[in-house]
Copies of this chain bind each other. A is one copy, B any other.
């Protein structure tokens, strides 16, 4: 059942190797005070920083720098960004980086003028913004999260051992995003592969839910096939423009609300993975990879028909002679083979998880209702332990 929904996605995208040439025109829509948000300095090494600064200077903007966004942006960093934004009364936050930087920019955009503690209001209590929102634009340099065209924003509180994502509405989505596939060429292989798995898992989280045969299922299969096809080229030849283009484009559409229409959506892999991230600070995509197979094997009996469809439609497995259970298992085997082929992390052990952390990670894991099976805390521990021993 597609059901009842609203679809609205106002983010303007500029895609291609000339995408940055549209930045000046976008900048002209905003006032003169721009907060420039970025990560650890890779954009200074690869020249993107200089290009963006030149655009800002030529547009006559006053630039307030906000560097040092970490891969799992913290609530401490958020408070710091809010001060910069508020004290300088910025008109635009320009995020240059990957999903972490853009997620963080959205967090600052709703938090800077918030009364009270934004961590409590927007992450613990998940309230909707009722204060001034500072517009965000982005220049994407790493692919995976889809943050460039959605309202998602994940923030980590290490003190509370919580990593929480809030999906804001279209008033918080970036006003524009600059998508140049070449900017992703210099991303280290580990990060590239983690990003690829992040894309794939975003699709799985929506696909493996509900019992319908609706347009979202078909679109999800299409995106998965395109990701798999492009990933096989990209891992061999990271500077293959076509492959990196398709990965970038799939990432955007994997998580901009389209393929969630009519689906209850699962997101339990993200819940477990984010709890692992809160404990280890590991790369997001790799936390998802490390818990995926134990999780999917665990829920397979509750969504057998869909896993069987997954085998045939996404992986081209000939399922006619198989039982439904055999077909479903063949789908997970094909997924596993591809994960090993592109080289994702298959065990949380590799991410620094130890046996004594399992209870704590399980406590930090939200148990959601949208998938084929609502997990218990014991099941989360069993899944984590299976990953630990993989």
Contact = CB atoms under 8 A, between A and B. Distances in A.
Interface stretch (A113-121, A123-131, A219-227, A347-355): A219-227
A14 B6 contact: yes
Contacts of A15: 2, 4-7, 261
Contact of A13 (B7, B17, B18, B221): B7
Contacts of A222: 215, 218-219, 221-222
A214 interface: yes
Nearest to A312: B316
B6 A245 contact: no
Interface size bucket, A side?
A: 35 or more
Contacts of A215: 222-223, 226, 246, 249-250, 253
A188 interface: no
Interface string A204-232: 00000000111100110111011001000
Contacts of A221: 222
The residue among A1, A14, A226, A241 with the most chain B CB atoms within 10 A of its own CB is A226
25 contacts: A1-B242, A1-B245, A2-B16, A2-B181, A2-B245, A2-B246, A4-B16, A4-B17, A5-B16, A6-B13, A6-B14, A7-B15, A10-B10, A215-B222, A215-B223, A215-B226, A215-B250, A215-B253, A218-B226, A219-B223, A219-B226, A221-B222, A222-B222, A249-B261, A253-B258
Interface of A: 1-10, 12-19, 22, 181, 212-215, 218-219, 221-223, 225-226, 229, 241-242, 245-246, 249-250, 253, 258, 261-262
